Amino acid sequence: MNPYTIKPLGNGKFDIFLEGECIKRNFDPKKDFIMEILKQTVGLKGDYREIKDGARRSLESLSEEYDIICIEGSGPARLFGFGPFSELLEIANMETAKIADAPILFVTDNLDSIPGTLSYLEEEERKRVKGVILNKFRTDELLCMGIEEKYIKFGIKRLISVYQKKIGKDILGVIPYLLELAKLPDLDPLIPSPKIPLNIWEKQ
């Protein structure tokens, strides 16, 4: 389980969980926004330190058991407009990468978003980004349009060449859109979702 989890409650409210325990309920960053920032800054800074310590403890525990740790981020790399609450949301991304001193791969289905995302980061943070993976590429739609596979592969190579120059980072791979994966249950352990049979991937 993610040691730090934001559980959306609707209407802009959140519960905040740390290591399986709820440390803040019904948090509403939009309510009386200016006053909320003034009142909550000190408290949120305390939560921020507590959550970072929790992430650090989890990483230290995992590193004792495993040689390689793959850390999955959550949401955008950088958030604006939530005041001090933005820092809490960012712990699951850049802050955890800093704690682990880990390289970063961006996974996106929109390569045009990468230059903007990189521009939000500090220079030291940009250096951590080692490459980009293009996700959910709709090869199926191109095939349905009658485009031959060899032309699709050529187009992907051309796409990679153009965007690597544009964003200044290597594009390390392209993951096709797969309907089977789109039907997988939500990864968030706090959001119940129906399970699907995994035998659809078994070889016939």
Mean pLDDT, the chain, integer: 75
* Contacts of residue 121, Cβ cutoff 8 Å, sequence gap at least 6: 77, 78, 94, 129
Indicate if the alpha-carbon torsion angle 76, 79, 81, 83 is positive or negative.
positive
Tokens representing 19?
């290591």
**What does the pLDDT average to over 125-135?**
90
**Please, how many CA atoms are within 13 Å of residue 74, restricted to the half-sphere of its CB?**
17
Tell me the pLDDT band of 34, cut-offs 50, 70 and 90: very low
Tell me the pLDDT band of 33, cut-offs 50, 70 and 90: very low
Look at residue 36 and give its three-state secondary structure.
helix
- The domain segmentation of the chain, as residue ranges, is 1-102, 103-204
Query: In this predicted model, what pLDDT tens digit does every residue of 72-115 receive, in sequence order?
Result: 876 666 655 555 555 656 666 788 888 888 899 988 888 888 88
Of residues 35 and 61, more confidence is placed in 61
What is the pTM for the complete model shown? 0.64
Say whether pLDDT at 39 is over 60.
no
Nearest-angstrom CA–CA distance, 82 and 86: 5
Look at residue 35 and give its three-state secondary structure.
helix
Tokens representing 62?
């995992």
Residue with tokens 């960053």: 29
**DSSP-assigned states of every residue in 134-172:** EEEE-HHHHHHTT--HHHHHHHHHHHHHHHHHHHSS-EE
Query: In this predicted model, what pLDDT tens digit does every residue of 153-200 receive, in sequence order?
Result: 888 888 888 888 888 899 998 888 887 777 665 555 444 455 555 565
Residue with tokens 């390289």: 103
Tell me the backbone φ, ψ of residue 106, rounded to 5 degrees: -85, 135
Is residue 28 packed enough to be buried (19+ CB in 10 Å), middle (13-18) or exposed (0-12)? middle
User: According to the model, what pLDDT value does residue 190 have?
Assistant: 46
Nearest-angstrom CA–CA distance, 119 and 166: 13
